[in-house]
């Protein structure tokens, strides 16, 4: 019977992602810590943590992997109308703590959250170091949605998103996708399939294809050492095509 690896020390490396279980899909290892070095190494090799207290840290590398290529972002008619109205303001790296707290808030009908205090502390430290970035959506001066994730080279590893107003998280994702396209990013990692992300153009690729992308795109210096500023703004020409001004 297949077993996952147990990480006994900070120095113990991850097994190759190909050794991940099929059921549950992608479970690769347990244990270890959430140090910046461990997390960066994990993402670089297509692995991410996902667990709930009081479990040990669980490490995953699912197959297939859902990704969003920035140039393939899909904007529905209703979302296009909302963007055109211009009620939302979108920023980057101005409210990381508030964004991660918004993502950690229990969903309706449950008290559960997978972003515990250790996860929060770990990603805030990576934000301080310039690896983790937040995208914020504001309405009348109030934070109503956003997302955060980790950047290595030309890959953005999306972690979580939240919304307190209709389409607020989608607006954040549209701005992120188009900004990353402007910067020449290869892909946004969405980790696992959801109807929400699929409706916006995300699609599944094999784990092997994903690891090839990481080998090519994570070696670049990229944008991780800088605080981000959103300089992409939504507009339309008469054919409804997106462009930057």
Domain boundaries, the chain: 5-62, 66-217
| pLDDT of 239 over the 70 cut | no
pLDDT tens sequence across 26-80? 999 999 999 999 999 999 999 999 998 888 999 999 999 999 999 999 999 999 9
pTM score above 0.85: yes
Whether the CB-CB separation of 67 and 202 falls below 8 Å is answered with yes
Q: What tokens appear for 205 in the block? A: 């690729």
The answer to whether the 5-62 and 66-217 domains have the same CATH topology is no
- Give the residue-averaged pLDDT of 202-212: 98
> Both tokens of residue 47?
């692995």
The average confidence (pLDDT) of the chain is: 90
Q: Rounded distance, CA 50 to CA 185, Å?
A: 25
- For residue 245, pLDDT over 70 is answered with no
For residues 28 and 17, give the distance between their C-alpha atoms in angstroms, rounded to a whole number.
7
- Average pLDDT estimate for 107-119: 73
pLDDT at residue 238, rounded to an integer: 30
Helices (H), 2-76: 36-44
Note the CATH architecture for domain 5-62: 2-Layer Sandwich (3.30)
Eight-state DSSP code of residue 18: G
Residue 201 buriedness (CB in 10 A; 0-12 / 13-18 / 19+): middle
Backbone angle region of 41, left / alpha / beta, with phi > 0 → left and psi within -120 to 50 → alpha: alpha
User: How much is the pLDDT for 11?
Assistant: 82
Choose among 21, 43, 17, 39: nearest CA to 208.
17
Average pLDDT score over residue span 184-197: 94
Residue 232 pLDDT level (bands cut at 50, 70, 90): confident
pLDDT, residue 131, reads 95
Measured CA to CA, the distance from residue 136 to residue 173 in angstroms comes to 10
Q: Which two tokens stand for residue 107?
A: 């969903």
Over pLDDT 90: what percentage of the chain?
Answer: 80
> First and final CA of the chain: distance in angstroms?
57
**pLDDT at position 218 over 50:** yes
Predicted local distance difference test score (pLDDT) of residue 233: 75
Record: fold of 66-217: Aminopeptidase (3.40.630)
Residue 194: CB partners within 8 Å, gap ≥ 6? 66
> 22 by DSSP, 3-state: which?
coil
Q: Is the pLDDT of residue 111 over 70?
A: no
pLDDT at 108: 57
pLDDT of residue 243: 40
Query: Token pair for residue 229?
Result: 């500023």
CA distance 213 to 195: 23
């Amino acid at each position: 019977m297949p077993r996952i690896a147990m990480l006994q020390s900070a120095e113990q490396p991850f097994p190759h992602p190909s050794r991940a279980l099929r059921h549950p899909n992608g479970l690769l290892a347990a244990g270890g810590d959430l140090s910046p070095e461990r997390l960066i190494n994990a993402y670089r090799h297509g692995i991410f943590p996902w667990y709930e207290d009081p479990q040990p840290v669980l490490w995953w590398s699912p197959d297939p992997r859902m990704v969003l290529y920035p140039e393939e972002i899909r904007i529905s008619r209703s979302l296009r109308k909302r963007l055109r109205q211009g009620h939302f303001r979108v920023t980057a790296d101005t409210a990381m703590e508030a964004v991660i707290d918004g993502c950690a808030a229990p969903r309706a009908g449950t008290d559960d959250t997978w972003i515990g205090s250790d996860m929060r502390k770990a990603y805030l430290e990576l934000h301080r170091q310039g690896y983790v970035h937040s995208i914020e959506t504001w309405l009348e001066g109030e934070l109503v949605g956003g997302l955060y994730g980790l950047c290595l080279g030309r890959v953005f590893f999306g972690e979580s998103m939240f919304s307190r107003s209709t389409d607020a998280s989608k607006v954040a994702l549209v701005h992120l996708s188009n900004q990353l396209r402007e910067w020449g990013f290869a892909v946004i990692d969405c980790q696992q399939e959801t109807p929400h992300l699929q409706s916006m153009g995300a699609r599944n690729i094999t784990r092997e294809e994903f690891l090839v992308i990481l080998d090519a795109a994570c070696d670049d210096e990229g944008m991780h050492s800088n605080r981000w500023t959103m300089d992409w703004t939504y507009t339309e020409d008469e054919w409804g095509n997106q462009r930057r001004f």
